[in-house]
């Protein structure tokens, strides 16, 4: 028996035999061609077949995992039709006079590497999407490399170097007990889809992946991230008990829908959800969140080739507000810069971008860009309960500049006879030590605080959360970080405003009681964590 450690990407426990999937990388051959036009024609045919297949997968995904999680396949089609990406494949064929399979493989790897080295976790997760697209092209170019996931003869635990989103969504849940991968991250779409579909998954096994062989008996623990190779009888027995307990727990969580997060002594906490796209609202509603605590508006910019227009933004915000049907929606103004770059913004190169021109600093520097977003937000405010939140605040002067611009936008809209709600809330993110230290002053200017624990931890501990060499030092439970949070909560209470947490540690149930005790009013987490957190609050007895 051997225990191999990976990253638990989707909770659950599976016990069964392993099926190793074909790795395309091992079968790609670089061949010299003489007829470039014929090769380009082959590529175009493969592209057309890929688009057709992706449309079919999208329709299947709509039924299986809902609109929010199926939109990735529409994005795949857009990426496949992107002039830069597809044009790069064609250029490799023309300039190097090589076969289309190799050109697609090479280009996919280059773009994937580019995404993988970005600081932002979401963008790193997109590295697998590029590989998915290139693999689909390759399979349509050479049918011998077709994947066997859809032809499993018995229920199996699937092992692959990486599983693409399109492969994950086509899995038959009756035949796929779990999956393990050599590569991948918690934020990849495959991991997200696995969580949505309820398939246990462990990813990021790295070099340890080489220890697995087809037909191995294994246990996959998606909770701890452990994969147990050739388990003994006692371990098998123990895990069967754990498996039963986990399944019962999941059913019990569903019974919490319609209830509130109220402690045993009557303290109520608002449990909201974080989203990045309008389509994610379906998952928010499915998990019965009290509202949306963080809509990351920057993804509207990151997934566009140019600045999204006022109308495009207005439609996106309006859609979310309408779907939430009166529940509060907190929309964060664009948080670009640092690890979230868009080429058309044309930001200067910075040696230390995490402390450079980013977030609200860009907005106040490029006020035309900011006003466009504010106009869209205010116009949408009539369709629901809107709150607007501003990131990376370090001074009272910044808040006053923002409020002045909002008044200008209100005045302009009034002159244009365009309606907007008169009573939306304004809040700021507390994610720097500076904002914590002057939180008593900032609290006089706004309606709420939302603590971004990811950046607050990074800046407080002087630990780059993307640096694997010092990742053990990144600790959101560090006493210094917790004192920063407590100080912020005290300032908010004294000023009579509410305070929430929208960073990763909001979902850390080991901290939930502490947060309730110090006066945190709201916690915002990924939609799939809402019911688990609600249960944690309901079990607290402060007496």
Q: Does residue 247 form part of some domain?
A: no
> Residue range 5-12: average pLDDT?
88
Q: Is residue 250 part of a domain?
A: no
Alpha helices in 443-499 (DSSP H): 453-461, 479-495
Q: What is the mean pLDDT of the chain?
A: 86
As for how many domains the chain has, the answer is 2
> In the prediction, which pLDDT does 261 show?
96
Of the candidate ranges 7-11, 78-82, 187-191, 251-255, the one whose mean pLDDT is the lowest: 187-191
Q: Which of 336, 339, 343 lies closest to 363, judged by CA?
A: 336
Catalytic residue status for 189: yes
Residue 92 belongs to what domain range? 2-232
Rounded to the nearest 5°, which phi and psi values hold at 91? -65, -35
Same domain, 350 and 496: yes
Is the predicted pLDDT of residue 476 greater than 70, yes or no? yes
Answer yes or no: do 78 and 117 share one domain: yes
* CATH code where residue 35 lies: 3.50.30.10
Task: Look up 363 and say whether it is catalytic.
Answer: no
Please pick, among 21, 76, 363, 502, the residue that the annotation labels catalytic: 502
Which among 76, 189, 249, 363 is annotated as catalytic? 189
Residue 315 falls within a domain, yes or no? yes
Looking at the fold, whether 304 and 228 belong to one and the same domain comes out as no
Tokens of 243: 């498996």
The whole-angstrom separation of Cα 426 and Cα 389 is: 6
What are the structure tokens assigned to 355, written together? 């402390």
Q: What is the pLDDT of residues 482-523, one digit of tens each?
A: 999 999 999 999 999 999 999 778 988 999 999 999 999 999
Integer Cα distance of 434 and 442 in angstroms: 11
Mean pLDDT to the nearest integer, 185-190: 65
At 455-472, the pLDDT tens digits run 899 899 998 765 656 767
CATH number reported for the structural domain that contains residue 469 in this entry: 3.20.20.60
User: Three-state DSSP class for 117?
Assistant: coil
Q: Is 357 helix (H, G, I), strand (E, B) or coil?
A: coil
pTM flag (> 0.85)? no
User: Is residue 353 assigned to a domain?
Assistant: yes
Q: Strand 7-10 and strand 201-203: pairing? A: antiparallel
Position 106 scores a pLDDT of 92
Residue-wise DSSP of 304-319 = SSSPPPHHHHHHHHHH
Are 89 and 203 within one domain? yes
Q: Do both 201 and 278 map to the same domain?
A: no
Of 216, 232, 248, which marks where a domain is finished?
232
pLDDT-based confidence at residue 55 (cuts at 50, 70, 90):
confident
Q: Is 249 part of a structural domain of the chain? A: no
Asked if residue 269 and residue 152 are part of one domain, the reply reads no
The interaxial angle of helices 36-80 and 189-197, nearest 10 deg, is: 50
| Residues 312 and 164 both lie in one domain | no
Query: Which of 209, 232, 255 corresponds to the end of one domain?
Result: 232
Residue 459 lies in a domain: yes
Average pLDDT of the residues in 62-75: 68
Q: Which of 232, 250, 278 is the last residue of a domain?
A: 232
Residues 354, 459 within the same domain: yes
Q: How far apart are CA 449 and CA 498, in angstroms?
A: 7
β-sheet bridge partners, residue 333: none
Distance CA 500, CA 449 (A): 6
Same domain, 74 and 182: yes
pLDDT band at 22 (very low <50, low <70, confident <90, very high): low
Q: Would you state the pLDDT for residue 120?
A: 63
Q: Is residue 245 part of a domain?
A: no
User: Which of 128-132, 346-350, 452-456 shows the highest mean pLDDT?
Assistant: 452-456
Contact between 68 and 285 (Cβ < 8 Å): no
For residues 386 and 447, membership in a common domain is answered with yes
Give yes or no: residues 289 and 432 share one domain: yes
Q: What is the pLDDT of residue 483?
A: 97
| Domain co-membership, 27 together with 124 | yes
How far does CA 389 lie from the centroid of its chain? 19
Whether 283 contacts 348, CB under 8 Å? no
In this prediction, residue 193 carries a pLDDT of 65
Rounded CA separation 489/511 (Å): 15
Res 272: pLDDT: 96
Task: Report pLDDT for 438.
Answer: 97
Q: Is residue 246 part of a domain?
A: no
């Amino acid at each position: 028996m051997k225990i191999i450690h990976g990253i638990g990407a989707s909770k659950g426990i599976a016990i069964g035999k392993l099926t190793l999937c074909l790795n395309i990388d091992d079968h790609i051959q670089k061949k010299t061609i003489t007829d470039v036009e014929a090769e380009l024609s082959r590529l175009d045919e493969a592209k057309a077949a890929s688009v057709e297949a992706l449309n079919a997968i999208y329709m299947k995904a709509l039924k299986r995992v809902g609109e929010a999680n199926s939109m990735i396949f529409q994005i795949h089609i857009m990426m496949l039709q992107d002039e830069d990406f597809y044009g790069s494949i064609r250029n490799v064929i023309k300039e190097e006079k090589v076969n289309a399979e190799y050109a697609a493989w090479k280009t996919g790897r280059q773009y994937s590497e580019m995404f993988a080295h970005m600081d932002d976790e979401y963008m790193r997760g997109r590295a697998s999407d590029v590989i998915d697209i290139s693999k689909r092209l390759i399979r349509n170019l050479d049918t011998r490399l077709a994947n066997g996931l859809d032809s499993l003869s018995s229920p199996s635990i699937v092992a692959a170097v990486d599983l693409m989103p399109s492969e994950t969504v086509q899995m038959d849940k009756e035949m796929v007990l779990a999956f393990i991968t050599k590569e991948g991250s918690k934020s990849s779409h495959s991991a997200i889809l696995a969580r949505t579909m309820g398939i246990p998954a462990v990813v990021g096994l790295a070099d340890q992946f080489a220890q697995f062989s087809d037909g191995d008996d294994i246990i996959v623990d998606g909770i701890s991230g452990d994969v147990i190779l050739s388990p003994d009888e006692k371990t098998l027995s123990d895990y069967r008990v754990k498996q039963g307990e986990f399944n019962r727990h999941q059913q019990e969580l569903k019974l919490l829908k319609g209830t509130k997060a109220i402690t045993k002594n009557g303290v109520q906490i608002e449990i909201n959800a974080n989203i990045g796209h309008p389509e994610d609202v379906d998952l928010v509603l499915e998990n019965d969140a009290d509202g949306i605590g963080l809509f990351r508006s920057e993804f509207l910019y990151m997934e566009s080739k140019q600045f999204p227009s006022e109308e495009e933004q207005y439609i996106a915000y309006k859609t979310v507000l309408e779907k939430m049907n009166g529940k509060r929606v907190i929309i964060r103004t664009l948080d670009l810069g640092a690890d979230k770059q868009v080429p058309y913004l044309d930001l200067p190169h910075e040696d230390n971008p995490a402390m450079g021109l980013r977030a609200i600093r860009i907005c106040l520097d490029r006020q035309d860009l900011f006003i466009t977003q504010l106009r869209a937000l205010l116009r949408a405010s009539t369709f629901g309960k809107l709150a607007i939140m501003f990131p990376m605040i370090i001074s009272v002067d910044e808040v006053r500049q923002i409020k002045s611009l909002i008044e200008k936008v209100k005045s302009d809209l009034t002159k244009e006879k365009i309606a907007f709600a008169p009573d939306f809330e304004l809040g700021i993110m507390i994610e720097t030590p500076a904002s914590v230290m002057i939180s008593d002053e900032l609290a006089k200017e706004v309606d709420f605080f939302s603590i971004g624990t990811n950046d607050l931890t990074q800046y407080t501990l002087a630990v780059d959360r993307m640096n694997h060499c010092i990742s053990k030092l990144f600790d959101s439970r560090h006493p210094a970080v917790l004192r920063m949070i407590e100080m912020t909560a005290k300032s908010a209470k004294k000023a009579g405003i509410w305070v929430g947490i929208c960073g990763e540690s909001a979902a850390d149930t080991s901290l939930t009681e502490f947060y309730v005790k110090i006066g945190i009013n709201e916690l915002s987490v990924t939609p799939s964590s809402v019911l688990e957190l609600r249960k944690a609050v309901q079990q607290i007895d402060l007496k």
